Amino acid sequence: MFRARHLALTAIALSLSLAHAQSPQARIKIDTDRKVGEVHPYMFGNFAEHLGRCIYGGIYEEGSSLSDASGFRKDVMEATKNLGVSLLRWPGGNFASGYNWKDGIGPKDQRPVRPDHAWGDLDSNRFGTDEFLQYCERLGVTPYICVNAGYGTVNEAREWVEYVNESRSTYWADQRRKNGRDKPYNVKIWGLGNEIDGPWQLGHKNAEDYSKFALEAAKAMRRVDSSIQLIASGSSNFGPNSDWIAWNREILQHLRTEIDYISLHTYIGNSDNNFERFLATSQDLDERIEVVAGLIRAAQAGQRNPRPIHIAYDEWNVWYRARSNSEFATGATRLEEIYNYEDALAMGMFFNSFIRHADVVKMANLAQLVNVIAPIFTNKQGLFLQPIFFPIAEYGKQRNNMSLNALVTAPTYTPAPGRKPLGYLDVSVTHNTKENALYVNVLNRSEKLDIATRVDNVEGAVQPAVGVWTMNYDDLKATHTFGADKKIVPVNSTYTAKVEKNGFTYTFPKHSLTILKVKLQ
């Protein structure tokens, strides 16, 4: 009798436990009329710098059996296409501030070898402007060239546009033809320097001096090609002694009639091994975007026909292991960061923030493409895909969707003393009008809590067959390597929802990233 009673009580307890687990603890309320902005394809850009093995031994490896006749690694090109890269930024990064583009054109055997004063290496210049632009054409991606605003001059920037885009018979256009390219490349996206606010930067300037340079460079470059779009060097220095808000305010005030974007850079890390604090960095991302969006509006205030200006988040990633106390010491690490499962979850955090601000964030470039803080890692024999590869590729399928302002309520936590409480669920939602489908992107950043969530659509019935893409792995520190990059991978499935009043309940597992595809009737 005692055993039977014990089993009965156990069954009741288990039943109550399951019922509690299935009762909603959170809510995502979606209204397709609450539009934020289009998820621009450029949000899924990438970045290739002359640093470590990103170019040489990554993108480009002459003489390799894995390379084509142009020296481009075929396996890397295939992986890049699968990653869904839309836009590629080059040649840097810190490297750009010491780079003379003229060293990288003409016969390869006649190009000079130069010291890289940004990272302490040597550059053969065998991969230059023509190679980069041919690579972009082969991939079908939009090129983005960053000019030298550190040690460079206004005239060098102007001449670079002439070499690349001029259709008439001029000196630099004819040099391009002499080098084998008759028609212009028509590069439309140009950056006015890199991280000029950072004291580590070659040719570092204060905001006033940079604004003067950038204004004259913009005028000169547009006199060659008035159709180009320009990106000002916004904040990259968020250190305790920096005034990043003042920097952006002054740049926007001086350049508001000339630029199309202002850049932001952010790298994050988990050096104190606190998972939930690590994934709370969305507070910083959201704040930086919203502050700069306000500064853009302030700069445009009072203008009759203000020039539209957007944010280019053209460097972002997890980066904290392969770092040191100086640029040269960091360069010596070759920035070969090995990413783990929790870093893959951070990709969702970044994209959720960008998507929530799709009205102003119209470009974002993961740093970088291959080997250097990258989702693709090579050796002489092949490559493997790091765990961060998979969320990037999946989010890219939402390009051109409409971002929606969803109402989210969820259990909260305080990630650090003095910080505001933060919901465990980090959410963005997009609407594909052609498919009439909602994409509900949910990062559960709780280390221990599965969260049952009511997903409601305000107007219009939802179909019960819900597509589910999820990354959910027990070991937060698990990594990939050569020949073993299949364990931390996403799973695709179909969830049959019990739909009631245009909504259903779904439980998001602890420390997971999930994308629900919900068809509307």
Residues classed as catalytic: 195, 315
In this structure, which amino acid lies at residue 408?
Answer: V
- Bridge pairing between strands 451-457 and 503-508: antiparallel
Residue 237, Cα to own-chain centre: how many angstroms?
18
Please check whether residue 227 is in contact with residue 188, taking contact to mean a CB–CB distance below 8 angstroms.
Answer: yes
* DSSP structural state of residue 280: T
- Bridge pairing between strands 261-268 and 310-318: parallel
Strand, helix or coil for residue 17: helix
Q: Partners of 87 in the beta sheet? A: 142
* 440's tokens: 């509900």
Angstrom distance (rounded) from CA 399 to CA 362 = 11
DSSP 224-271: H-TT-EEEE------STT--HHHHHHHHHHHHTTT-SEEEEEEEE--T
DSSP 102-126: GGGSS-GGGSPPEEETTTTEEE---
* DSSP structural state of residue 520: B
State the Cα angle at 22 between 18 and 25, rounded to 5°: 125
Angstrom distance (rounded) from CA 105 to CA 62 = 17
Q: With residue 491 as reference, give the H or E element that holds it.
A: strand 491-496
Provide the 10 A C-beta neighbour count for residue 180.
Answer: 9
The residue whose two tokens read 């000196």 is 171
In this structure, which amino acid lies at residue 98?
Answer: G
